[in-house]
Amino acid sequence: MAIFTGAGVAIVTPMKPDGAVNYEAFARLIEFQIANGTDAIIVCGTTGEASTLTHEEHLECIRFCVNTVNRRIPVIAGTGSNCTQTAIYLSQEAENAGADGLLVVTPYYNKATQKGLKEHFKLIAQAVHIPMILYNIPGRTGGVNILPETIVSLCEEEPNIVGVKDATDNFIQYAKLMALAKGKVDVYSGNDNQIVPFLSLGAKGVISVLSNIAPRQTHDICAKYFAGEVGESAKLQLEAIELITALFSEVNPIPVKKAMNIMGLEAGTLRRPLTEMEDANAAKLEAAMKRYGLLG
């Protein structure tokens, strides 16, 4: 059984002007997501600026999210690292905090082989008891790519490795994965502009940046598809394309935090080395938000 089906939000970590985590705003964002139909919350991922958090902040954000959600929807904790032992530590602490699952990114910088990737993920999986989703995003990890054969074998060999977030932007590889998986791998799109194409080949849903500002709409793209309303699902997907393009006109999460602040959702500042959005891109983003109906 999948950890979740539908649209899970890769939630931002709101910051105060001095860069500290804004837990009051974080609680409001979590409630906004739950009230608007989000199917799961993914905390401390790329969009949550996990790479800029200390280990103590990282774990405190996970604990806070788990406690605030209070089992209303699944919470999946990002616990990946380029150091296997660190990933094990973060994963064990997330399990202790009550997370429903883990999202573990491919180790960056080290450029592990497929053998190294298998050992890395297996050691993490064997150190915990909750389900784990692999996170394949070569654009963030120096080109490191978990091949379909490796993903399938990991899911076959380790019972709590249940799936993958695919952000490879390689639909041919995704199709090969689904052909090999034969239902053994829960796949989530890592790209908001490919939700419906992924669902059409059997994906369970999306782990979404768009959901931070349009949770109901993103949920509905998935829900309508699963209800058999494929045409309406595709219509909603296409209506969001301009906004999704604007949300990735600069590196994530720069644009989505800007969009949230425009909407009054208090995402706050970014931690360096990320900087505020360029004025020209921000203007295009705001225009796309208006056309999508997020602003009056």
Which of 27, 73, 61 lies closest to 271, judged by CA? 61
The catalytic position among 108, 118, 135, 188 is: 135
- Residue 90's pLDDT is 98
- Residue 50's pLDDT is 96
- Residue 1's pLDDT is 74
pLDDT digits (tens, 9 = 90+) for 177-200: 999 999 999 999 999 999 999 999
Quote the CA–CA distance of 189 and 133 in Å, as a whole number. 12
Residues in the chain where the model's pLDDT stays below 70: none
- Residue 248's pLDDT is 97
The catalytic position among 108, 118, 165, 188 is: 165
Whether 258 is a known active-site residue: answer no
Identity of the amino acid at 73: I
Task: Please check whether residue 66 is in contact with residue 103, taking contact to mean a CB–CB distance below 8 angstroms.
Answer: no
- Residue 296's pLDDT is 78
pLDDT digits (tens, 9 = 90+) for 125-158: 999 999 999 999 999 988 999 999 999 999 999 9
- pTM comes to 0.96
Whether 16 is a known active-site residue: answer no
- Residue 292's pLDDT is 98
- Residue 25's pLDDT is 98
Token pair listed for 183: 């239902």
- Residue 173's pLDDT is 96
